[in-house]
Amino acid sequence: MTQNASASHAQHLPYTPSDPAATPIRAARVTVDAGQDLGVLDRPWASLGYDEINWTYTPQGRRTLQTIGGFAETPYHVRPHNIFTSGTGLGLPHWGSGNVYHEDADGKPYYDFTIADLTYDAIVGAGHHPLVELAFTPLALVPEEAKAEFPFEGSPSQYSAYEAGWWSYPPKDYAKWAGLVAALVEHCLERYGANEVQHWLWELWNEPDISYWRGTPEQFHDLYDVTVKAIRDIDPTAKVGGPAVTGGGADFLRGFLQACADRDLPVDFVSFHTKGSHFTPWRTYGPIGAPAPEKQSPSTPKMLREIDRALRVIEEFPQYVDAPVIVDECDASVPAHWGIYDNANFAYRNNEYYPVFQAKLMKKVLDLNEQHTAKVHEATTWSFSMEGERYFEGTRSFVTASGIEKPLMNAYRAFARLGDRRLAATSDQSVGITDALGNGLPEEVDVIASRSTTDGSVTILFWRHTDDQYAEDAAQTEVELQVNGLDHGDWTMQHFRIDHNHSNSHTVWQDLGAPQDPTPEQLATITARQGLERFTDDTQQEVDGDLTLRIDLPLPSLSLVVLTRVVQTDR
């Protein structure tokens, strides 16, 4: 048996500030060389996932997917759990059911694709591509030993032993599992066509190194073998991979890749997860609005160490080292469905801290890629939409009640504005990944810059951030932004900002008195401020090669500067 869930959670150490008196950054110099093209700008942020598959196709779920699809510069991969889990299709936090597999009285399998169609229709219809996580064990395939050994006491708060854990056992009949997998692939090809499905990814299970898999590693290897062959028999070009282990699953990952190498099995992508923290105590039971018993924050270094360790494992296997690496849960803290009423440390998910954290994390992932042969292709936020929550509950989601977009959404809007070519850019106040020691990243100013091959615009994303979500600084950091190598002529500058007072629906809601039953007028006021906002009016100026700007950054904050050459037209 593998380690249990509590053992895994113990690895999710939080960041507790060790030096609250650290000197804030007062000045920073950011330099961009618009003439130094570093190649294609990878886009690791272009994916999302969530537990609750049945919330994919609710009105709020559909709108969330469509909103992201509306601004995304490239289709996202979308990864929900539970496509094979049995159930009624009722969505619950951290639970869901695709309810595909059934057997008649004689034990003959048959399939119901009702929920699968609703799910993938919503994803594809919004312009995205599914990452199909093939899990978990349907009720009819639960082995008899699970029913005998799994401890369960009936409770009104849980449906049955199946929901409590039977789903995590290896299926009792691998041939029937193979038939289920093949039926889903065949159905999706018929419904969506090969031109669409060629972009899909097929992944076996989720976090088999902990209690999501109550079998042996060898049983998992056998199931992967069966699954790959079932998929490839239907679609020889399908991209199949795994094993989606936790940040502590390096040994399981190594064993999986070794087994695949020994059996000459394809691994078209390698997947694993990382989380920045597990606050302790994980959940608190106290008065509504009570402060956290200890102030804790996400840890960027923990995430970087786990990614680095997994990349090194992959590099032990030359046959798989060029496969795209997908960190298909890459999040600042667990769990997604708990919020500020469970532990006040989850407050960062509501405010400007989180979108700036995401920008910093994506930059550090790109930095890690430069040090490795194996490359992270996607770093998936396990954030989506939660039904039935209070306004700004603090769950890990893009939207809150009434579909109000949280500041996190604006980080992804900012990412979408970056061009397709990466430009050389440095900051004299950045923290390199080799310097990211300890349990928390100190305050820094860092940058990503790009050029668009479509219109030649130069886009610069830079931020001020520290892992300590409770850090305060009444003063701002003056950033001298030096952009070199621009063509001579007139340029228009757009300046967007995410901070406490910009692109921040949470602040607007708080200023209105934090209503839990906002009026239509209050909702209109909040939603009017939920998008990515301009910090200043657009300006135009003549440039002769170099441009110097001075921009103040509060803590935390993110600025997006877009420079576009003015095209002169003959009159």
Strand partners, 479: 28, 551
- What's residue 7's pLDDT? 34
Strand, helix or coil at 35?
strand
pLDDT at 424 over 80: yes
- What's residue 3's pLDDT? 31
Average pLDDT over every residue of 359-384: 97
For the chain, which residues make up each domain, given as ranges? 18-416
207 catalytic residue (yes or no): yes
Centroid of chain to Cα 237: 26
Vertex 53 angle, CA 52 and 58, to 5°: 95
- What's residue 13's pLDDT? 53
- 395 near 52, Cβ under 8 Å? no
Residues 10-59: tens digit of each pLDDT: 344 566 655 555 789 999 999 999 999 999 999 999 999 999 999 999 99
Poorest-confidence range of 518-522, 529-533, 541-545?
Answer: 541-545
Q: Give the percent of the chain with pLDDT over 90.
A: 89
- What is the rounded average pLDDT for all residues in the chain? 94
Tokens of 538: 């657009």
Phi first, then psi: what are they for 277, rounded to 5°?
-170, 160
Strand partners, 27: 478
Q: Among residues 52, 133, 203, 207, which one is catalytic?
A: 207
- What's residue 362's pLDDT? 98
Strands 477-484, 77-80: pairing is unpaired
Strands 421-427, 444-451: pairing is antiparallel
- What's residue 436's pLDDT? 59
CA distance 61 to 388: 12
- Tell me how far CA of residue 336 lies from CA of 9, 49, 51, 87, 381, in angstroms: 13, 11, 9, 21, 10
Average pLDDT over every residue of 226-249: 98
Q: Which ranges of 216-314 would DSSP assign to H, the alpha helix?
A: 217-234, 250-263, 300-314
Residues 308-365: tens digit of each pLDDT: 999 999 999 999 999 999 999 999 999 999 999 999 999 999 999 999 999 999 999 9
Q: What is the pTM of this model?
A: 0.95
- What's residue 8's pLDDT? 38
Poorest-confidence range of 11-20, 271-280, 526-535?
Answer: 11-20
Residues 151-176: tens digit of each pLDDT: 788 888 778 999 999 999 999 999 99
- 512 near 504, Cβ under 8 Å? no
Residues 276-316: tens digit of each pLDDT: 999 988 888 889 988 988 999 999 999 999 999 999 999 99
DSSP character string of 358-398: HHHHHHHHHHHHTT-SS-EEEE-B--B--TTPPTT---SBS
pLDDT at 461 over 90: yes
Cis amide bond preceding 138, omega within 30: no
Superfamily of domain 18-416, CATH level 4? Glycosidases (3.20.20.80)
Strand partners, 447: 462
Q: What is the DSSP letter of 538?
A: -
Phi first, then psi: what are they for 184, rounded to 5°?
-65, -45
